[in-house]
Structures are given as structure tokens and as C-alpha cells.
Chains A and B, each alone.
Chain A
Amino acid sequence: MSEQNKDQTTHFGYQQVKTDEKVKRVADVFHSVAGKYDLMNDLMSGGIHRLWKRITIEQSGVRRGMQVLDIAGGTGDLTMRFARLVGAEGKVVLADINDSMLKVGRDKLYDHGVTGNVEFVQANAECLPFPDNSFDVITIAFGLRNVTDKDAALRSMTRVLKPGGKLMVLEFSKTDNPLLTKAYDIYSFNILPQMGQLIAGDADSYRYLAESIRMHPDQETLKGMMEQAGLVNCKYQNMTGGIVALHTGIKP
């Protein structure tokens, strides 16, 4: 990181922190929640995160023999299904910047008998350690908002996509229904941190998750950022009233 960047600040939830500090702070959050991440996801979303992920998988068009990169794949939900879809001829790379999450994911996949066609790589989405034009499909589910430089990450993902390959960003977004927004706010800032405290013994991490969702660019902004990164046919699909949006773009 350059000297200039070191003095720049970025948001960490609602706080302003130095750019290079965000990486460490986010890492701390995920080290803290890794062991109970799946359980918390189920509780936080009432299990709906499985539906969002299922829709992502069905729309990915992943088929036998494909090369898939699951960035911020964490505990391996998407990778587990992708690995079975691509079969022995294909390959899935589960990448995460956080080694605690990666370890939980690796153990979970091995426990489910998913081996052979999956590789585990600790990598930063902003500078992916893969050659150009390597993957047919790249997914990043609930990961982009934790990345410090989102534009760099989108450019890096575009670079490693094969021409014609598809980038899919599944991420919390903005609801357009005022009533839903209000209910969602109460839930995120009052109920969620308490659940985090109760189950994972860590309210702060979950407060960060809620805040980081609010700071994440809305649907149209993210779509614009994807176009800026060089992707075409960019579009998004709102799910559950816009609480979550699935953005897709194709590398020309």
C-alpha cells in the first residue's frame, strides 16, 4: 500500500478508519464470528440466505467442466454446490481473505465429502492471484461490502474472468419500501447485535455487519461500478424487497 493511501480514510461500518486499518478490523470481525458464522446466518436471516444463495446458483449457469471462483466464499455454501455441478472435470476455487473462515469452510466441505475438484486460496479480492481469463463464473456472496477498495476488486475479478464469463455479486442492498426499511432498521440495530451477543458472544461484530450493509452502495451505484470495471450486460435482481440484490455482469 502506498504512503498516500495510508493517510486516506474509509468507512468501517459508521466509523471512519484509516484505509489500511479497515482490512485488519474486518479480519478481526470474521476471526471472531467464523466458528458460528453458519448458525448466525441462519438465525439472522431466518434461513432465507439459503434461498438467496440457491437462486444465485441456479442463475449462474454453471455446468460440468467449468472453472468457478467463489470469492469471500467463507464457509463454503456456494462452493459445495458448485463443486458437485462442475464435476470431476471442472474446478472450484474457494477464496477468502480470512484464514479462519477458510478453515471452517474447508472442514465443512471435507465433512460433506467434497474433495478433489476444490482448491482453497487465501486471497485479497483487490488483487487476485490468478492469471487473466481463468474463470467461467465468479461469485462473491455477502463479501463485496467488506472489501476496502471495491472498484479495484471489481477490476481484479473482471481481469481473471474469461471473455464471456459471468460475475455475480450477491449482497445486501437497499429496500425501496419505507415500511420494510423501518422494520429492517429496527431489526438490524436492535435485535441483531443482541442475537450476536447471545449466540457468538460478540455484539460489536454484528453491529458492524448491520452498519456495513447500510454503507454499501445501492443497486444502481453498484451496477454503475460494475460497468466502470469493464463488464457489460450488467443488471440486478432484487430479492426480498431489495434487502438483497443479485448483480450480474458479463466480461466482453
Chain B
Amino acid sequence: MLELLNATLLTVAEQSINGLLGRDPVTLERLAGLEGKVIVVELSAPTLRFSLMPCADGLQLYSQLDTEADVTLRGLPADFVRLLGSADQAEAMFGNGIEVQGDSGLATRLQKILADARIDWEAQLAELIGDLPAHQLANLVGFKVRQYRTTGDSLLANLQEYIKEESQLLAPRPEVEAFMAQIDRLRDDSDRLAARFERLRSQVFQDRD
């Protein structure tokens, strides 16, 4: 009986999620790129464990799978909700109490795909109450907020890119990081050289004495 209940929950969840994702072909295409990967999610409070398999239809959910997980994510439900909406994957994933075990790159890719998913709430609503009322309602309650935010985000991203890549006023982040790493290495090397020099010098003086 419990099994049937479990299966019902998973089926309903899977159909709802894929119903939403089905309206976003770009997201589906990106999810298809992760086909065959197994992501295990372990929620604490309430304790719940399930597996996700991305595919061309969206996400497949399973309560138990014998295939070894590519990555396991552990955390509180609230952490996962924050993760879905976060623009900075690394911060959301690693700085917010979600424990990642396995292929963290895969987890980051999935998070990014889902966070980028453009779910068209207006179209969802239109199916229920018709196009015109849905549009009015969407305007009214500000479902458009996301669109505006997206425009703002892309403007910021373009500006950043222009300053870094086109005008070369600022160095791109990977370059800066590589440069810093080189400096760190140089500093370590010079410290070691100094220590070695000091050791040799003291040996020379000892021998002379």
C-alpha cells in the first residue's frame, strides 16, 4: 500500500514537473544532454530520498534505483528551494548547507539548467482560464516580474562582458585567478629559496667556526 502511495506521489510530481518543463524546449534539450546520469537527492526533515534522471522528456523520478549515483546531494528542503532560484551556482551549492558527494560538476550543470528554465506561467494559466483573462491576470499580479528581471540580468551580463572582453578595462575572472595562483606560487618559491639560502649560510658559518 505504501509502495502504491509512493508511486502515486512520484508519478504526480514527475508529471507536474515535466508538464512545466515541456513548455521550454531549450531546457529539455539541455536536460537531454545529461541523459543517463543519476542524481540522488536526500532531504532531511522530512527525510526523503529519491533519484533524478534527466532525459529529453524532462526529469524521471525514482524512489529506488540500483544504478550507482553520479552525484548525491544532501540538505534541507529549504536549501534546495534556494538552490533552484540561485544565480550563483557555486555559492548556492557549496555555501548553503547542501552536501555534495560525487560529480559536483554534474550537480552544478543540473542546477544551472533548472535555474535558467523559463517556465511560462501565463501559458499555464491560459490553459485553465483562456488566453485573454490569463494575460490580464498575469499583468495584474506581476508574473512579468521575472521577464523584467531577466532583461535586467542580461543587461548586466552584457555590460560585464563588454568591460572585460571588449574594452579590456578589467581582466576576466579566470585570468585573474590564474595570475593570483602564479603569484602565490612565486611567493612560496621565493620563501623556500630564502629558507634554503639561510640554511646553507648557517652551515657555511658553522663549518668556518
Contacts and interface: CB of A to CB of B under 8 A. Distances in A.
Interface in B61-92: 62-68
B56 interface: yes
Contacts of A114: 56
B11 A113 contact: no
Contact of B7 (A51, A62, A84): A51
Contact of B66 (A50, A55, A62, A87): A62
A55 B56 contact: no
Contact of A112 (B3, B56, B62): B56
Interface string B37-63: 000000000000000010111001011
B191 interface: no
Interface string B173-198: 00000000000000000000000000
Nearest to B53: A84
B65 A58 contact: yes
Contacts of A240: 4
Contacts of B8: 51
A91 to B, nearest CB: 14
Contacts of A50: 11
Contacts of A63: 65-68
Interface residues of B, number: 21
A61 interface: yes
A62 B67 CA distance: 7
Contact of A88 (B36, B66, B68): B36
A55 B62 contact: no
Contacts of A58: 7, 62-65
A203 interface: no
B153 interface: no
A59 B73 CA distance: 23
Contacts of B64: 58
A87 B4 contact: no
B36 A84 contact: yes
Contacts of B65: 58, 63, 85
5 contacts: A58-B62, A58-B65, A64-B67, A114-B56, A239-B4
Interface of B: 3-4, 7-8, 10-11, 32, 35-36, 53, 55-57, 60, 62-68
